[in-house]
Structures are given as C-alpha cells and as structure tokens.
Structure 1
Amino acid sequence: MCLMVLELRKLTLGEDILICETLGTEISLKTWQKRLMVGAVLAAFSWCGVALPPATAAPESKSDKIAKLESQIAQNRVKAEKAALAVDQTAAAYAQAFDELQAAETSAKAAISKAKEAALAAESAKAKLGLLAVAKYRQEHHNLADFETITETDAFHTQALKQEVNNILGAKADAQVQSLTALKNVAEVLQEKANQAVQGKKLAAKNLEETEKKARARAQEAVKDLERASAQREQIIAELARAREISLAQERERQAKAEAARQAALAAAAEKKRQEEAARAAREAERKKAQELREAQIRAQRQAEAARKAQEAAAAKARADAQERIRAQQAAQLAQDRAVSAAKQAEEIEKKPASIAPSAAASQGVGSALLSWAYGKVGLPYIWGGSGPNGYDCSGLIYAGMRDLGFSIARVASGQYSSLANISYAERQPGDLIFFSSDGTAAGVYHVGIYAGDGKLLHAPRPGQTITVVPLYSVNKIMPYVARL
C-alpha cells in the first residue's frame, strides 16, 4: 500500500488566501477549498497506481420518473385511440360493402322481374298475332311457316319485314305488328339491364368478400394493438402508484379523473369551436340577409324607377297624342274655315262680278284705305284661320280688310299673290301687299303683310302674337312682286 503525505504550507497573506507551493497558484479559500481537497485525494490515488471506479449518472429523481411515466401514459392513450379508430373504420368499410351488395341484389331482382314481365308481354302479343294469322290463313290459305320465320327473326322490326307481314296478314294487322315490335324491343332492353344488374350483384358480392377478409385481418391486428396498449397502461399505472407511493386503486382513480378532465377539456374545446362556427354562420347568414335586403331594395328602386319612367313616357305620349289631336282638330277646323271662306268668296264673286282691277284700285287709293283699316286692328291676337272680328291670321287680315272696304279677293296668301301681285318690289308704296315664299314660287307663298312705309310691315305674325308693325325681315324670302290695291 502506497502512502503519501501532502503538506500544504499556510502563509498569512490574508484570511481567505491559500498558497500551494507545488502549483504556485493563489486560490480563494471559500471558492476552491472543496475542489482542492478532492483534487489532492485523486492525485494521491493516481500516484499510488490505484484505479478509480467509472463515473455513474445521478439517480433519477421521483418527479422525473413520474413525469416520464405520465408521458408514457399519454403515448399509450394515442396508440389505444388509433387502434380503436382502426376497428371502427374496418366495421364501417364492411357495412358499406354489405349495403352495396344488398342494393345490387335488390336492383338485380327488380331488373329480372321487369325483363320477365316484358318477355311475357311480347309472347302474349305474338300469340295474339298468331291467332290473327290463323284466321287469315283460313280465309286465304297462306303458309303459316312463313309467318313464323318472320316473327322469329332478329330483324323483325325492320320496315321490309313489317311490309311482308302486312302482305300476309293485311293492313289491319299493322297495329298488332307494331305492338309486338315495341314489346320485343322493351324486353330486349330490360333483359340487358337485368344482365347488367346481375353482373353488378356479382361484383358487389366479390367486393364484400374481399372487404370482409381485409376488415377481419385489420380488425384483429387493431384489437391486438388495443389489448397491448391496455396492458401497457396497467403497467404504467402500477409504476406510477409506486413512484407516488400510493395504492394502485388511488392511482387508477387519479388517472380516471385526469382522463375525465381531459375529455371535458376536449368537449369544451369542441363546444367552443361549435359556438364559434355557429356565430360565424350566423354572421354570414346576417350578412347574406343584409345583402339580399340591399339587392331587394336596389331591385325595388330600379323597378320603381322603371315604373316612373314608364309612367312619364305614357304621360308624355298622352300629351303628344292630345297635342296631335288638337293639331288635327285645328287643321280640320282651318280646312273647314277655308272651305267656308272659299265658298263665301265664290258666292261674293258671283254677287259682285265687277271686282276691282289692280290699276283701278290703286287709282282709287284702296291700299291706303286698307292700311288705315289695318292700323285699327293692331293689338288683336293671331288666330288660326281667323278673319275677324276678334282676331286674324296673315291672309285673313287682308281678306277681312278688303271685305269691309267692299272688295272681294282670294282668302289665302298664295291666291292673293297669284291674282294681285303686279308691281316690282323695288317700287313698293305704303298700302302695297308684300308676300313671303319658302321657295321663291307662288305656290310656296306662306305669309303676307301690308307695307307701312319706311321699311316697315304691318301684319299678323304667328300664333301667340298680336297684329303689329315691325321692320321688314327675312328679305331673302320676299317675293319679287307686290300687290298694289
């Protein structure tokens, strides 16, 4: 055994200072005292050739062990839930396959039944047609073997074969032939559907068989996983009970409460999510309702606007129609007045055959007299077709003035121009008649007035105005001749 004495000299360099001559290092006593002692001991063992045992990890604390076990419980719970879900999914897959098989069987059964009914109906129609053929044979001795060959052929529905049957049985059998053809077609279609349904049934049965095999294998594995998870859970619970130094029953109760709390938390979270989704759905519904209300209001406004515009258009049309009727009535009245005036004019001409000649009228000063008379009418209104005494139109003013002076002239302006105009416009004098034309011709004359001198015109302008004296206007419309009365 090797012994070694370590000598440490303590020098008084301060209360907390220690000097190791061997190392020549100044060290804090309070901080490094324990480390120096351990180091000295280890060095002594090392110098003596004594081997030290390997270092070991610190023992696991109780709280760490409990936390580790709780984590294992959580992992075990996930495994168990996954295994249980696998069992449920397997059962659901089998149930789906079973339902598909039942539906296929029902469909196949119905299709087969309809196909049989259609085949029986076709056979019945064929029998009726056969009876008709027998009756026809007795009358005309046709070969029934020919008829059987025709009705049994696959191409019985073709037009050529129908015609041949008609030739054998007559046109009266056409309805029975058409009925038999239709029933055979229906029977063929339904038989095809029945075949497809049977095939679907077979496929569904095969699918059920395969699904059942897979489901059973998966379910067995899932059940084993669930059993292993349950066994592991019991072991972990037992270890937790020992770690907590409580009984197994107490730990089970504790785990049950923890699981109940977890389920309650999950339920609360699910309820919160449901409420949030319900609130979100309510907000969305409210938004849609508000949007629909706005759209309804917009539609109502548009409809109201359209109705208002339609009403305004109808009112405008009614006003236009009324104005048109008034204009038509006025035109009719004017035409009537002109006709009456023309009749009176003709009558007056007959009574007074000696009308004045322009030259004679001028010599007698009729124009001056007419101008004086017309000045007395200034201020009276323009009236359609008016010839006094309360109002006048342009030619009516001239016509009435000459009438009152004892002379007869044409009623309308164009007639007055054609019968009276004889003096150049450049030689016009007060009392002369000045005419306006739309195209420079006598037929286009539309207005007449009395020249008042000094470049002025006395006339009845237009509806809404009064008889007045104005400067000459629209010179380019004035005819080249005036009428001197």
Structure 2
Amino acid sequence: MRSSVPAVLLAVSLLSGLTATDLAHAEDPGDHGTVPSKKDVDNARRAVADKATDVAGVRRAMAAAQARLETASIAAEQAAEAYNGARWRAERARAEARAARRVQRSATADLEKQRQAYAGSLVSGYSSGQGLSAVAGLVQPGGIDEVQRRSSTVASAQSALDAKFQRYQASKTLADVAEDQASAAEKKAVAAERTARSKREAARQAANAAAAQARSVAAERTRLLRQLAHLQHISVALATRRQDALEEQRQEKAEAAAAAAAQAAAQKAAHEAAQKSGQKSGQKSAQQSGQQAGQQHHTTAPDHDAGDAASSSGQAPAAPPADDAGAPAPTPPASAPAPSGGVGAAIAFARQQIGEPYVWGAAGPDSWDCSGLTMRAWEAGGIALPHYSVAQYEESTPISPADLRPGDLLFWGTSNSPSSIHHVALYVGDGQMIEAPRTGVPVREISMYAWEAPNFYARP
C-alpha cells in the first residue's frame, strides 16, 4: 500500500506538469499506509491550479512586454514624423527666405537705378538753368520770347523731375517693404531650423528609447519562455514554437477584427451617403413635381402623369437610395487588376526595398522611414511627394477605403484630424501593404490590418 500514494501522485503530476518538489509536498509524510486522503487530492489539485495560474501569468507578462514595445515604437514613430514635419517646414521657410531676399535685391537695384536717374536730372536741371534773365529779355531783341520759351522748358523739366522723384520714392518704399519681408522670412527660417534641430534630438532620444525597450523586451521574453518551458516540463524550443503559434493566432484574430471593423465603418459611411443622396434626390423630385404642376395649371392639355412630365422635360426620376447589402467592402477584391504606369513603378520600387532597415529620417538608398519610402516609391512613379506623412496626405486626394486601389497611400493617426497622422504605407492590393514600420523591423509587405485599420486614405 505504501507505493500507491506516490503512484497516484505521479500520475497526477504527469498530467498536470508537477515537479518532484511538488510531489514531495503533496505526499503526506505522516500516513504512508493508506490511499490518498481528500486533503491529498485537494492539495494536488491546488498545485495544478497554481501551475496553470503561473503559465497564464507568464503569458500575460509577455503580452505586457510586447505592449510596452508597441507603445515605445509608436512614440518613436511619432517623434520621427514630428521631426520630418519640422524639417519640411524649415525647408519651406528657408525657400521663402531665399525668395524674399531675391525680391529685396531686385527692389534695391531698382531703387539705386531710380536714385541715379533722379540725381542726374537734378544735375542737368541746375546746368541748364543759367540762361537769359528777365532784364536781358527786355533789352535784347526777341528776348521776351526766349524767356517765355525757356520758362516753359524749365516748367516741363521740373514736372519730369517731380515724376522721377515720385518713382524714386515708390522704389524706396518697395525696397523698404522687401527688406522687412526678407528679414521676417529669415527670422522665420532660423526659428524653423532651430525647431527642426530640437525635433531631431527628440526623435533620436525616442528611437534610442524604443531600441532599448526592444532589447529589454527580447531579454524578458527569453527569460519568460524559459520559465514557461519549466512550468510545462517541455524544452525551451518547444515552448517558443508554441508561444509563437499562439501569438500568430492572436495576430490573425486581431487582423480579422480590424478588417471587420473597417468594413462595418465603410458600410455605415456608404449607407449614410446613400441616405443623403436619396434625400437630395427626393427634394429635387418634389421641386420638379411642383414646377410641373404649375405648368399643368397653365396648359389646356395636361400631361397624363408625372413620369411623362419628367420625360418631356428631359429629367429622369430620382433613383431610390442604396441599402447596406450594396455597400462596398473596404478593400478591393482579390482579382484586382495589375497596376500599370506610375503605380506599377511605385510598387516595384517599394518591393525592391523589402528587407532593408528602418532608420528614422532616412529616405534611401539603403535605409528608410515610413514617409521616406513612400516618397521615393512615388518619385519612381513620377509624382513628387514631401518627406512628411501629414503633407503627403494633404498633397494627395483623400479617398474612402471602399475606393482603395494599388498605389494608394494608407495613413494612421491618433485622432480624426489629419494633423495627427504619424505613419504612412503603400497599398499594393488584396489587403496588403508595403511599409517601413519601426526601429528593429525592416521594410516588409504585410496585411494592412497587421497593426490596426488605417484611418486615412489618399491617392497621390
């Protein structure tokens, strides 16, 4: 009978994953000659439950570590795009300053030209002002006529001189304004460049923090996987494969949920648009019916029905609003046509960069950030875009997710305002995108719902 207790507990341990230490605690040392008591069974069950709790706790810890990494990565991405935005604004401000200086130099040159012309006229006037005096005009033959002629000439010269002075004054005013504008533009450029340097430092710190978090999470995951393997009495390699499979399943579920949410939002938007269109069409039809009724009142042979009236006026009756069943899905079907022209070149360029590293602020040739990749891809496609995700959206044509075509841009923001955009990717069809995601993750082609559904869409 002595061996029955260890045998039972051994069977329980094999099913539950208890260690030898657990067995020692579970066995009652004071009673070796009887079958397991209720207390023994309860203790064994509690030990199994504790192990299960430990496994769940380890997995929660891994999920929490991954969440910290995601948070740090998003913060780094936001900081990187904030730097791109500050750099873009600084470049624009510097270009405006250069243009203002060109205007100022032109205005200064014109002022000098007008100054010389006015000064020359003054000298010429003084030189030609010596002539017959009024007395000489009285005593010399024909003198009076000569005085009158010269007086008229002097008056004309004075009028011309006044006009040149006015032009000089106008040029001086323009030169002063141009100087003020150039100085203001220069100050704006200097301030923008100072802000860009500050944002660059913030982006560098955020990227370093994200990289440190990635290293910390990787080390913590390794430790937690060892702990998980110990708790489950399996090898670390097997624990790793199991955990990877679980995380992949969760990712697939998250992608499916994001896709479903995006489709529901698209259907709702389409339904609301159809309702508005139906209301407008109904109002227009009512107005047309009223006009037709007025026309019938003034005719001797009224039309047979409203449909004939609409046909005779060349206006078609309003179409009924579409229902939810006809609402488009957020992504095109799998049989979407192959991209061509500039779109094909843009996608081909992006695919060539797959596997290359993410580096914040980079736009090639061997490293990329999100907006640097989409900028160069569409540059290959023949369209110039700025190296800044917000500006890329603003300089493109906004579209709905139902209108997505290969080559369109996908944007992620923290709110419903485009100013909150901090990530951009290139849509390549069939629900897939190419992106430069974050530090430590290279350029990749992946589901557009791998993280969460985009909240802005645009066509360059």
TM range (shorter): 0.3 to 0.5
Normalising to structure 1: TM-score of the pair? 0.44
Give the TM-score taking structure 2 as reference length: 0.47
Greater Rg over alpha carbons, structure: 1
Bigger RCO (CA 8 Å, 6+ sep): 2
